[in-house]
Structure 1
Amino acid sequence: MRQSTCRYDLIKAVMELGFAAVDMNLYLDNNPDDQTAVSTYNSFVSQYAKARCNYEKQYGPLTNFGHAPSNCPWQWVEAPWPWEKEFYM
């Protein structure tokens, strides 16, 4: 159960930080000169990259191209995939 909890915690951090970065991005579309918001956005992006890297080091890639290298054999086909329901339970 501990590995599952750790995996859940890692993916939850990825999702939360990704949401926060998108939310700040939307805010900045309307407030591009808000330096505090730009700093907050950059902080979320940095934290998101670290959280994603931590997850992918332990459990494999979250996307099938462009953001994460793969070991051999090709890891993208290994189950469970990040969006599979049993993953979150």
Structure 2
Amino acid sequence: MKTDCSQKQLLNRIDQVSFAVNDMTLYLDTHPCDEKALTYCHELVQERKKLLKEYAEAYGPLIIDITDQTGESIWKWMEQPFPWEKEGACR
């Protein structure tokens, strides 16, 4: 699957959705019977999974959970650069 977004744009969207998922889980900790919030949280989780899969197919897996969904016949997890090896990353 070829993404229409740049790698940076896709990472930014994954960050946004991941933040929303975390925020919704905190809300649901105190409002567990809010069906509207629960439905929204499920939608966000599905979107996050889709984005992580899209990213993994285009650039390599971001998290270990997605490595088996990329359709690769070889183990590529260690072939991508570590965060500190990327341009502009922590050094």
What range is the shorter-chain TM-score in? 0.7 to 0.9
For 1:62 and 1:55, the matched residues in 2 are separated by 8
Residue aligned with 1:67, SS: helix
Per the alignment, residue 36 of structure 2 pairs with 36
Q: Could you say what secondary structure the match of 2:27 adopts?
A: helix
| Cα deviation digits, residues 53-87 of structure 1 (max 9, x gap) | 110010111123x3322635531122334x44526
Task: Give the RMSD, CA atoms, in angstroms.
Answer: 2.2
Per-residue deviation, 1:43: 1.0
Report what 2:45 is aligned to: 45
Task: Give the ranges of 4+ consecutive aligned residues of structure 1 lying more than 4 Å apart after TM superposition.
Answer: none
Q: Distance in 2 between matches of 1:34 and 1:60?
A: 36
Structure 2 match to 1:14: 14
Report the TM-score, using the length of structure 1 for normalisation. 0.76
C-alpha deviation, 1:12, in angstroms: 1.1
* TM-score computed with the length of structure 2 as normaliser: 0.75
Fraction of identical pairs, as percent: 30
| Contact 1:56–1:62 (CA under 8 A) maintained in structure 2 | yes
Number of residue pairs aligned between Structure 1 and Structure 2: 82
Instruction: Call closer, same or farther: CA 1:57–1:19 in 2, change over 3 Å.
Output: same
Equivalent pair of 2:60/2:80 in contact (CA under 8 Å)? no
